[in-house]
Amino acid sequence: MTQIPFIFHDMQDSQIFALAQAAGRAGFAVHGLVQSTKEAPWVTQSRYINSITELPSLGDVNMGLYALNLKKENVSGIFVPVVDDIADLLAEYAPLLRKNGLSFLTVHSSQIEMSNTFALQQWQGKLKIPRTTYCTSNELIETALEIGFPVILKSVRDGFVTFHHQEAMQTWLNNAVHHHYPLQLHQRVQQYIQGETNNMATALLLFDEQSRPVRGFTARRIRVAQTNYGPFGETLAAKAEWLPDLYEACVELLTALGWIGFAEVECKQDQHGDWQLIEINPRLSGWSCLAEVDGAGFLQAYYHLNTEGSKLEPTCLQRSNTSYSRMVASSRHQPDWKNFKYSTYKSMFQHKDNMCFGAWDKWDKTANRAWLKLMLKRFLTKT
């Protein structure tokens, strides 16, 4: 009997490709969706990818056209959401996509809307919710004073800006034309939780159709990418660390929301030791390969939930002995350049079991060579 494959979208993305490799290592069949095999040779050269369909990325077409393309290409299997727009697609088009042969777990679109910090302002639980509101650019000063400085402006991706006092915000606004910041948009202002990067941690969770948490994993961040206005970008380096208080706080909140499927809950620990919610993403994180290398078992559990009628018992399987450094990155992401040193590359070629470098696998040698070519070019041309 032919095994039902996992479906991984955007395989030109190194982070998603790394998760597909984890599925292949675990013995699952993998079907990859990629914009162009010519521009992503690692997909065709990987030992773990059983079949490939060239398909426009959802970022280039609307949801309806993307769903139609999936149907036209006869793509069927167990769909794994790893980016926000794909998670939104699964929630919005769930009946149609399932009718066309895709299996997956997802919450309703309304639950996604209710999971942001603005909608959760009245939540009273273990996980704290930072004060968050929306306003026009003309109301920024007044809104920030109501929230209380310091605040963070989160109106556009890669455009987060922190202000520690009113004078700093006023000066920035006076010169905003030079920042090319989209002040014409509705502005999202949030209480800023102070502290170093390693105060930030993530809980990855998987809930079944009865909203039971069947798998969990927690990790602490080490480095994040630098964006236009500060270090607020994606995770560059992290370490698996079991944080039971964070896990329990996140489970409590998501259970109350009736969550189904994956959730990436990003948090930061404040000066009192309380975990403050940064955001909830209805999907696996981009660096979920760390969780799989550390033994979390999300993919096996997700496959079971989509193919078997029996329940899984809630359990957390992580070993908490694995570190992650994004040394392999596609053109849309930045590698962990701060970890660019001889000892790192020595570790990469030694293929240590307690290290995860993204899309780098000791059994996937031809794919590794394709990545090396890209990374060498990027290193020689980076500024």
Inter-residue contact 24 to 48 (CB < 8 Å): yes
**Alpha carbon of 350 to those of 47, 347, 355: distances in Å?**
20, 5, 10
Inter-residue contact 288 to 82 (CB < 8 Å): yes
CA pair distance 185, 176, nearest whole angstrom: 13
Residue 180: its pLDDT value, please? 76
Residue 177: its pLDDT value, please? 62
| pLDDT tens for each residue of the chain, 383 residues long | 579 999 999 999 999 999 999 999 999 999 999 999 999 999 999 999 999 999 999 989 999 999 999 999 999 999 999 999 999 999 999 999 999 999 999 999 999 999 999 999 999 999 999 999 999 999 999 999 999 999 999 988 778 899 999 999 999 988 876 567 888 889 999 999 999 999 999 999 999 999 999 999 999 999 998 877 777 789 999 999 999 999 999 999 999 999 999 999 999 999 999 999 999 999 999 999 999 999 999 999 999 999 998 899 999 999 999 999 999 999 888 899 999 889 998 999 999 999 999 999 999 999 999 999 998 888 888 64
φ, ψ (nearest 5 deg) of residue 134: -115, 150
Tens digit of pLDDT for each residue in 275-327? Answer: 999 999 999 999 999 999 999 999 999 999 999 988 999 999 999 999 999 99
Residue 383: its pLDDT value, please? 46
CA pair distance 196, 234, nearest whole angstrom: 15
CA pair distance 328, 315, nearest whole angstrom: 31
The class that CATH gives domain 133-191 is: alpha beta
Strand partners, 276: 128, 268
pTM for this entry: 0.95
Residue 178: its pLDDT value, please? 59
Assigned token pair, 322 = 């694995």
φ, ψ (nearest 5 deg) of residue 116: -90, 160
Residue 209: its pLDDT value, please? 96
Q: Which CATH architecture has domain 6-105?
A: 3-Layer(aba) Sandwich (3.40)
All structural domains of the chain with their residue ranges:
6-105, 133-191, 197-381
197-381 placed in CATH 3.30.470.20: yes
Inter-residue contact 231 to 161 (CB < 8 Å): no
Q: Tell me if 133-191 shares its fold with 197-381.
A: no
